[in-house]
Each structure stands twice: as C-alpha cells, then as structure tokens.
Amino acid sequence: MRNASEDDPYLWLEDISGEAALAWVAERNAETAGAVTADDGFGPLKARLREVLDASDRIPYTVRRGAYLYNFWRDAGHVRGLWRRTTLESYRQDEPDWEVLLDVDALAEAEGEKWVWDGANVRRPDFDRALVRLSRDGGDAVVVREFDLGTREFVADGFRLPEAKTRIGWAGPDTVLVGTDLGPDSLTDSGYPRTVRRWRRGTPVEASELVYEGERADVAAWGYRDSTPGFEREFVGRSPDFFRSETHLLRPDGTRVRIDVPDDADAYAHRQYLIVTLKSPWLGQPTGSLLAFGFDAFLAGDRTPEVLFTPDARTALAGHTWTRNHLILETMRDVSTRIEVLTPAAEGGWTREPLVGVPELSAVSVVDTDPDESDEYFLDVSGFLQPSTLHLGRIGAGTEVLKQAPHRFDTTGLTVGQHFATSADGTRVPYFVIGPDRTTTPGPGPALLYGYGGFEVSLTPSYAAVTGRAWLERGGTYVIANIRGGGEYGPDWHQAALGAERPRAFEDFAAVAKDLVARGITTPAMLGAKGGSNGGLLMGAMLTRHPELFGAIVAQVPLLDMTRFHKLLAGASWIAEYGDPDDPADRPHLAAISPYHLLAADRPYPPVLLMTSTRDDRVHPGHARKTAARLRELGHRVLFYENTGGGHAGAGDNEQAAHNSALVHTYLWQQLAAPGSPTVPGPLTASPSAVPAAPSGTGL
C-alpha cells in the first residue's frame, strides 16, 4: 500500500490543460482506440445506440409554464438541441406543432462555441422572459443571458453574466436574486456563490445590493423568490455542507427570520404551509418523516405538525409534488413505487387515497404539475422491460395516455427479478436482475453489476434502451445493486455508509456480486462492474478490496484520490459525505478507502477501463488520470479514455454519448464473454404487434 503522505509523482496530471498532461491523455486515448474502438463490433454497436438516442419517436417530455408546454430536444439533425414549446392541444397529436424558441446548434455555429443547454428560468406570472443558462462543452459553470420569448431573441441590454457556477432567479419584472463570481471572497471554497445580491435591470451586477452572505467554508449561499400569487415571499440561506442548510424568510425591510427546523432537514414554504422532510428525529417523529405546519403559525412558535408520511423498515419517501389543491406522495417499498394523493380537509387533517395502480418492479414518477392553476399531473410509467407511457391526469377526473414510447430492444426470453443479498454485517441488500430466463437458458453467463451508493441517490427501475441494445440483446445479464449510501430506504440507509462507515457500501456491493455467483447467474470471470462519479469510487474499492470477484471493471468520471479530493474543483462540497482529509480524525479512514493509494504491484487485478472528461469541472479528471498512470506503472491491465468535452456527464451530445456507451459495452464484452459469443447484437426483431398496449391510468 502506498503511504498517503508520500509525495505524489503524478500530480502533474492534475494540470487539466497542461501540455504534458494532454499529450499523455492523447497517447492513452490512442491505445484505447486501438484496443476497443477498432473492434469489429464497435462501429455497428455505436450506430445502433446513436439510433436510440436520436430516435424521432421518443417521448418529448415537457414542463408547463402558463399556457405552453416547454421541451428541449436533440436528434440527428439537432445535435446541440432545440428549446421549443407547444400547447397541450397540439401536444396530444402524434406530431405536435412546435414553436422553436432557441436553436442551440445555430447559436453555437454563429458564436464559435460548443454550447450545451443547461436550462432556463421563465419569468412569472406573464412567462414572457427567461434567464437562459448555457455551458461551454458541458461543464457545470454557465453563462446566463436574458431571452425574450415573444421575439425569440436574447435581450440586448438584458441580464447577462459571464461563465461561473451562477445561481440566479427572478425577483420581479426587472430584478433578480443572484449569486455569482464577482472576484475575491464572492465564492466558497467549493467554488459556488457565497453571496446573494439583488440585481436591478440597467445597473452593473458589481453594484448590486448585498442581501445575504454565507461563510467561505460553506458549500454555497442561495436566495429565491416564491412567486405564488397571494403568497409572494423571498428566502435566503446557506448550506454549511452538502446535507445541512439554514433558511431565512427575507422580509421587505431587509430583516431576516430563520425557519427554525433542524439544519439537516429539508424545508420549504408552499402557500399557507411549511413542509419539512426529516433526516433525523424531531418533535417525536422519526427520520424520513414528512411533516406539514401552518407557515404563519410556525413562525409564531407553533410546533404541532401534521404528519403526512412516516417510514417503516421497508418503506421510504421517494418524493412529493403539489397540484393546485392536492399533494401527490411518492413512496418506495423495497424499491418499488407507490403513489397516493393527500388532500387537506376543511375541518383539519389530510385525507389520502391511491392515485393509480402501479405495476410491480416498475418506476412511476410525476413528471410535471401545474400547482398555481389546476390539479393536472403528467405521470410517467416504465419498467426494465416496459417502455415509458406518459399519462395526463386530473385528480378526481381520470387519466388519458398522451404518449407511448416504442420498444427499442428485443425482450424475448428476458425476465426481471428482485433478490436480496446478505452483507457482511447481516444487512439485507436488495438488487434487481434483468436478463435471460434461467429456466430456459440455464448456466452462468456474462453479467454487468451497476451501483452507486452515495448522497442518498436511489436506483429505481426504468427502461434503459441503450443497456438493452448494448448488453441484454446479446445475452448479457444486467444487475442493479441498491446498496447503502443510497436513499432506497430513506435517510438511515444513506447515513449508514457516511464517513468512516463508507466500507459498508463496498461490503454490500461485494455481497451482491457473491450472491450472483451463488445463484448460478454468472461467475467471477464473467462478472463485470460499472459505476460513475461516487460510483467510480465504488469501482475503485472493488478493484482494490475485492479483485477476485470480477472479470473487468469500468469506472466513469471517478473519484479515486480520497486524500486530495477536497482540493480539486467542487471536492470540498463532499466533505460531509466522506470526511475531511485535513482533519486528523478523518484522515486515517479516508486513506484506508482511497483506491489510488491502495494500488499494489503484487495483487492480481482484473482489467480496468477508466473514463473521464477534460471539461468535468465537478470531479477532477486527475482522479482517473493518476490512477491509470499508477496502474500502468505497477504493470496492471488498464485502458484510459478522456473525452475532451461533455462535463461531468461525460458527453455533451448524442454522438459523444453513443461513443462512450459503445466503448464501455464493447470493452466489457471483450473481457467477459465466453469464446464464440456474438460481438455484435442483432437488429431489433420485435414487430410493432409485439409492443404491449399502454396501461390505463432530479451531488456527484
């Protein structure tokens, strides 16, 4: 094991755009191209994946803003995308009449920039202007420009900001609340805004009124205006770390009133309510509960909650969304979704009833609602082998199917199952298996195990056409592990793997790998593992702690140097998840889970593919670069690929996304498939008649 205190001989690879570092990257990319992209199966697979990503019959998901439904769309003819809108009446048609607001491809060509769309904040209540965010080649930092939705042009003398990790939102027709890079002391150590300012039209942002400031050690400060008619309010706050925050009501005279909830709770105002999600026990209610208070009564000192949800050992809160008169509650029971409608009663209390029947092992999510005007909701229903169906519903008035996505891969002979592995400390860990029916296709085969295990992120069932074409169609089995560190069983499931307890997530993943072999689904030689970002740390842990369990490992935009992560880009914002390398109490456990420092010459590692992006301004590409260099130095089998763009997503357009996915799956098939297995999956064979009828009814 390397001593974490030793000088790092590969620090020069942290120079993101350094000439020597980029030359090294080019050499490694060429090696990977020769080994993987030159494979006979790579080109055909990439073409089939690009076909999926560019398909014109994808569901164009929308958000309602006033009378219009807005959508951002990419396809083969619009690589960087179109921001567009239509009416609900037109959206019901197979071919809606879209009004194009902004053509990002045309803008990129005109300005000579590789612009990537990052969203827009539309001004209420008239929905006539927008604050458009554009990223250079996919990074987290954005430029901001005011856009006129009537003329479909940028406002010449409007709000405009240069590249930064800006937070901005409307606070009136001619005012915004903004946090951005204004020079020294305007950013936190994590690179996010430390101040909130009221910026008025026609004045320099540097001269804008300071309304709030956080500490330099905070993750970020923030401010926003709630524009709900009749409940207009402004809030400011700070996030001392990734999981704690404090929120203040900003009064018109500039004074502040703190919303006195636990600092690890999520709290926000909605109309007359204060809604609080607990991450620790409070007021006699357990972790993971959802509470409602009267907003004014709470400020006056009343701490009597209406309990909207209480978790149990198998059920956790997945999310909630408001319509005009109701609250739609999404919960998970053993990672399968349940949905209820909660309605405040005139005499006090809340009533509840199921919203719609939900298929087992499926994902159901509320895509959008119109909380100001109506009780409509857009509901997406999908499953591992079930393409999405988009429903439009109105609470109390039934639903209609708006859109049905077609099958993208052949599901013949495929099944879905859920199993539970037993981790080292006895914890039951759920996982999903999607692959050949073992009753008709006996014996082990190639399998790919995916995991994340951090930041309370839940991995739920969904239809993944790229995985279907790249892996399932050719006979592979795909497995998703719901390990601790995620949110599948609420905050306790996440907190069980925080800080020095991070190895529990690693043990959970290893337990799933062993269980797959014990069930005869695969063998260690045919089992691959894949994860990205925090999941890349998980892959590094599998490589260094359990190399005997895997035949190949892929880590994408990974976090691997746990002794320096806080010094690189946004790394300081993750200290609450992992610990502080500068704290003597945390340094030992961080060194003990740092894959970069645990690599050794005398251990037999499986082959590894490390992937990153030069433009990733969240997880520094140096993590992957240095680890690849160290593995090479020690004589191990490693390939490295760095996309020059794409940001933390690794890809800024469908071409890059198809390339990356084809690279991953071609590499894994090379390493894991038995001799004689097909290298190129066949074309989709399911006929249109095979598509089942549609059912009725948003770290690291």
Catalytic residues, which ones?
533, 648
CB of 224 closer than 8 Å to CB of 198: no
Residues counted in the chain:
700
Distance of alpha carbon 128 from its chain centroid, rounded? 30
Task: Yes or no: say if 624 and 557 are a contact pair by the CB < 8 Å rule.
Answer: yes
Instruction: Map tokens 């074309």 to a residue.
Output: 683
Cβ–Cβ < 8 Å for 563, 578: no
Nearest to 563 by CA among 626, 649, 617: 626
Distance, CA of 65 to CA of 88 (rounded, Å) = 11
CA–CA gap between residue 668 and residue 214 (Å, rounded): 46
Q: How many CB atoms lie within 10 A of CB 4?
A: 20
Please choose, from the candidates 627, 614, 621, 502, the residue with its C-alpha nearest in 3D space to the C-alpha of residue 571: 621
Cβ atoms 481, 431 nearer than 8 A:
yes
* Own/partner long-range contacts of 565-569 (Cβ < 8 Å, ≥24 apart): 565/620, 565/623, 568/14, 568/619, 568/620, 568/622, 568/623, 569/191, 569/616, 569/617, 569/618, 569/619, 569/620
Cα Rg, the chain, nearest whole Å: 25
Supply φ then ψ for residue 268, to 5 degrees: -155, 160
Note if the bond before 60 is cis, omega within 30 degrees: no
What stretch of H or E contains 45? helix 42-54
Other C-beta atoms closer than 10 Å to the C-beta of 175 total: 16
DSSP state string for 564-607: TGGGSGGGGGGHHHH--TTSTTTHHHHHHT-HHHH--TTS-PPP
Judged by DSSP in three states, 25 sits in helix
The closest alpha carbon to 78, from 49, 53, 112, belongs to 53
Residue 510 φ/ψ, nearest 5 degrees: -65, -35
Count CA atoms closer than 13 A to 461's CA, side-chain side.
31
DSSP category for residue 653? S
Distance CA 594, CA 122 (A): 43
Residues near 322 by Cβ (< 8 Å), separated by ≥ 6? 270, 328, 369, 371
